[in-house]
Chain A
């Protein structure tokens, strides 16, 4: 990008976000802010037990009509999500529990009141009799147990098993170093600031069900509601207003959306449901829980030859629509090799049904787990080789000269210089000085450790990748509409949504790049199926690549139309004019878009006789030339000080060196990176939903569920390089998830570096004081030759 543009408002400019003005003043509009006349509030009676057969549900006398059970929801189908992967077993997910309850927090009854408190009063008064069944709480135990089954009609408790093998026998033969590790990530919730929120009513004039829902995927929710409620798509409008964070929690059809929509259809008046924090923490603990047995085979210097892994994913009770629980094992199996160059790989991944909330794809989708496993193993290999972990990591990364590179799982890495990002991180963190200080020791007795992690992040992957999994919905072309308004401004609309990503700004920047209209005159409309062209929505770090590409295409479609009218107004040849700065410039003068738009809309007598009837509005689609994904990548480096008496980890410095190709707005990129890293630190050190043996979640409020806050997230230093993707418009790569991928790996590597001399190695998230102290005590006991 040229310097002028970066200083201006186009691609690469650090402009402030348009959406900040309303959010900073508390003037955003979220579903909880909305009130419709005659609106009722909904509360759910949720299962108090993890697994059981429903014997009896008795509605309180006199309130029968305000309470709905599964059988009352006539016409609402169970959510069933197919997948073509052989052996996959779909679950039947009823919007309200049917015959059985399968996790604590599963909705059983729908209660309607004038206020939420009254609806909760009703929920309390329902008599519930459940015959408890043994709870399947541990994925390994559930896999071994075919007697007790989450889904009675299955033969076991396996959603699916994936097997992948490529060159493993050859690669693993004759390795000098064989390192085996067991790695574990705990279950957690995604904890967006705003939970689920849905307000549905029937618009008599439009003869439409209108659902305001806090969702990342409004068009997909329309498809889903149409399918599971038996309406025509035209009878449904989904509006996703301001959304207080999605992270994957809101990229699927929620049973609560189905229930509230059903009420609105049945009663033709407004109903609203707002998930509260306890509901979120209990019924939304649906992410990250992976277990790995991983073996690395390397030569004497730690150069990887092969990796073998058995992964177990605790899939919870249900497979969500449309992504299914298959997404997580698919991503885990395919992405475990990460940014590394080796040719032997074998991986078996089980996705197990348990009595917990159904697994959903959380920011980073499986890659936080695989990066954690792989990066811990790289460090273990380095220790076995007696070399610096950064060196071994460096020697194994795919070199820039090998790009584009097809890896061992046949992923096509489009571009990048992975080793350079690692070396830059090492330099920026001040590696040598920290090693010196580490040798000297700390006055306060704490131990210093330095950790690294490198990953690559598949973004904006499309047809090839998703159709291989056979999901009910495959993202392909994304659409955008660009319209010149009569005053010469632009209206952009796209079917993706923005919930913190700043797309109202960055999409405008792309339009500005093509047509030069000032940002203040570009409006971006998102999140409303009535106002935007179809898109599968915002997930998988795809929106800026896909919607951005579509906006660019639509603007480029309008440019010649504007040029033709402009040239006619100036009475010069069209090949002598240029479209720039929101005007058409001719040899002698220029006409503003405003004049062109005025001519087209209000003064048609000025138009050329052969004016393009497409007019000043275009809807155009986009798909990257190669749609196997544009791979962003990054190296994180951290320095920690570990207090071995208290089991406390302080982060002294944290550096991120990231490359997401061309940055549309570096400030937005930094914001995304920081937010993701904060969530990654949550996974690393704080966030966890433990369960007792009966499947009761033990962290149901923020008193027990720890989130990182301002005190816990250090001043992360972010550096960027830009290696454009050869396949996307402007070389943009997606980067929405990346920040959340590496922090657990980098923090654990740093702690293991700090405690190397003590023989302590930790490998289970989150690293609470208890886990750390337990590992330290076990190492002490080993040193003393006693049993721990």
Chain B
């Protein structure tokens, strides 16, 4: 379980990083916290010819208050967001989600950008950021572009990024004081990837009503019917309604998984609608 041979480069800035990636022609890979890539290298599931280490790029490490949103650099670690609890008004959900990822030693290194790019269907950020209506900032040799967090992940472990592109950061709209949200995941043991997960955000002040479930075969799936219904009623839908919505959203789930996802979604909704 040792990595195959690779070259290693440590670019000075984002521009150099994307240039190196472009030169790699698909054989170069960015290294951020290494919490997903490290094991894949050692298992020889990933065999890049060149590792472009972006973990020390200061440009990627800022967290800034943009007035109606927070901008979080791609290189910000989960633990920094966890530790920002109480200091990021309007992004309380971000801090809570960060604190629930893996365990502290993984959070100390793993980054929000790495997690989005890795695109594990069971990961926390793709789900939470979709529910929050976040936008992902992408830097490439040809400049920057932005995509909705919800649209970044195209399938299990695949994204809309091309080989030379890097995630630079995410912007997350702040929730208003009236916003209600819920986040629930069920793991066989804490620190493991979840069996089922759900994120819900209701913010009438911003016209937002989003309900997503995660830990499926592919990207998180929106349950807009439930979102609209709950936004209107402010009440928890019935069990049968939730079950049916999950079945529609994720038709390939078997009975046991559907039951589990419905139970998890109902808990996330409960957090949001609870008085």
Q: Which listed residue (B1, B5, B43, B256) contacts A770, Cβ 8 A?
A: B256
Q: Which residues of chain A from 696 to 718 have a CB within 8 Å of any chain B CB? A: 701, 703, 706, 708-709, 711-712
Which of B2, B44, B193, B259 is close to A773, meaning CB atoms less than 8 Å apart?
B259
Question: Is the pair B4, A706 in contact by a Cβ cutoff of 8 Å?
Answer: no
CB-nearest residue of chain A to B189: A712
**Among B2, B39, B259, B264, which residue has its beta carbon within 8 angstroms of that of A117?**
B2
Stretch from A252-260, A379-387, A512-520, A645-653 that touches the partner:
A645-653
B177 at the interface (CB under 8 A from A): no
Residue-by-residue, is A545-586 near B (CB-CB < 8 Å gives 1, otherwise 0)?
Answer: 000000000000000000000000000000000000000000
* Chain A CB within 8 A of B186 CB: yes
Is the C-beta of B263 less than 8 angstroms from some C-beta in chain A? yes
**Closest CB-CB distance, A779 to chain B, in whole Å?**
13
**B residues contacting the other copy or chain, number (CB 8 A):** 22
- Contact residues of A between 629 and 661, Cβ < 8 Å to B: 645-648
| B245 contacts the other chain (CB 8 A) | no
| A contact residues around B5 at 8 Å (CB) | 117, 121
Q: Is B260 a contact of A646 with CB atoms below 8 Å?
A: yes
Within 8 A of B (CB), among A234-277: 276-277
Q: How many residue pairs, one in A and one in B, have C-beta atoms under 8 Å apart?
A: 57
Q: Is the CB of A773 within 8 A of B260?
A: yes
- CB of B240 within 8 Å of the partner chain: no
Chain B residues 172 to 195 lying within 8 A of chain A, measured CB to CB, are 186, 188-193, 195
Residue ID in chain A nearest B1 by CB atoms? A276
- Chain B residues with CB below 8 A from A645, complex form: 259, 263
- B43: chain A residues at CB < 8 Å are 278, 701
Number of interface residues of A (CB under 8 A): 28
Whether A277 and B260, one on each chain, are in contact in the complex, defined by CB atoms closer than 8 angstroms, is no
Interface residues of A in 592-620 (CB under 8 A from B): none
CA–CA, A159 and B60, complex, Å: 61
Interface flag for B255 (CB, 8 Å): yes
* B3 close to A (CB within 8 Å): yes
Q: Which residues of A contact B193 (CB under 8 A)?
A: 703
- Chain B residues in 8 Å Cβ range of A686: 188-189
| A711-B190 in contact (CB<8A) | yes
Residues of A within 8 A of B39 (CB): 701, 703
The reply on A627 being an interface residue by CB < 8 A is no
Given contacts A276-B1, A278-B43, contact A769 B195 (CB under 8 A): yes
Instruction: Report the Cα distance A711→B104, complex, angstroms.
Output: 14
**Chain A residues close to B by CB (< 8 Å):** 115-117, 120-121, 124, 276-279, 645-648, 686, 701, 703, 706, 708-709, 711-712, 768-770, 773-774, 777
- Nearest first, the 6 closest Cβ-Cβ pairs linking A and B are A117-B2, A645-B263, A276-B1, A773-B256, A711-B190, A116-B2
Apart from the given pairs A703-B192, A768-B188, 11 other A-B contacts in the complex at a CB distance below 8 Å:
A117-B5, A120-B4, A121-B5, A277-B1, A646-B264, A647-B260, A706-B189, A711-B189, A711-B190, A773-B256, A777-B259
Interface pairs (22), CB distance under 8 Å:
A115-B2, A117-B3, A117-B4, A120-B1, A121-B4, A121-B5, A124-B44, A278-B43, A279-B1, A645-B263, A646-B186, A686-B188, A701-B43, A703-B193, A706-B188, A706-B192, A709-B191, A768-B188, A769-B186, A770-B256, A777-B256, A777-B259
